[in-house]
Amino acid sequence: MKNNNYFLAILFFFTLNSCKKDRGPIPVAEQFLAAIQDHDYDKAAEFGTKETIKLLKQFKKIEELNVSEAKEKLNKITILSEDIQGKKAMVYFKEEGNENEQKITLEKVETDGEKVWKVAMKKEEINVIDDQE
């Protein structure tokens, strides 16, 4: 059960992703979270930095090893706000059934000649979420 809670915490933390034509961090976060809710890590990876993509690959492997467990549908996510400071942004959100406000970091990076927002997850941040539960 602890592993399942850890896995879910990680999934919730992956809230943001890349957006095209600088639509801002919120649409990226929404697309990233939707992919995570569908357990579509390949789609979610489209919205992440290189480090985020590595973490998503690990999540996918973990989920594949736990084939006996049914894939849980995550609760509805509501985006609350964004805070953009230069090339970094924080998107704040809540998950239905959890009153705690959560946040995810995004970075503006250059991809194919365009500056786009990408979810920038780090292993250290995942441990913080796990400790909060």
If pLDDT is split at 50, 70 and 90, which confidence band does 78 have? very high
Residue from 67, 65, 27 nearest 46 by CA: 27
**pLDDT tens-digit series, residues 31-45:** 998 898 888 999 999
Q: Return the closest-CA partner of residue 115 out of 23, 50, 9, 6.
A: 23
Q: Identify the band that residue 50 occupies on the pLDDT scale cut at 50, 70 and 90.
A: very high
HSE (side-chain half, CA atoms, 13 Å) at 92: 8
pLDDT of residue 124: 64
The Cα–Cα gap between 110 and 7 comes to 30
> How many domains does one find in the chain?
1
Q: Which residues on adjacent β-strands are paired with residue 102?
A: 93
**Domain extent at residue 128:** 2-132
Q: What is the CATH number of the domain that holds 79?
A: 3.10.450
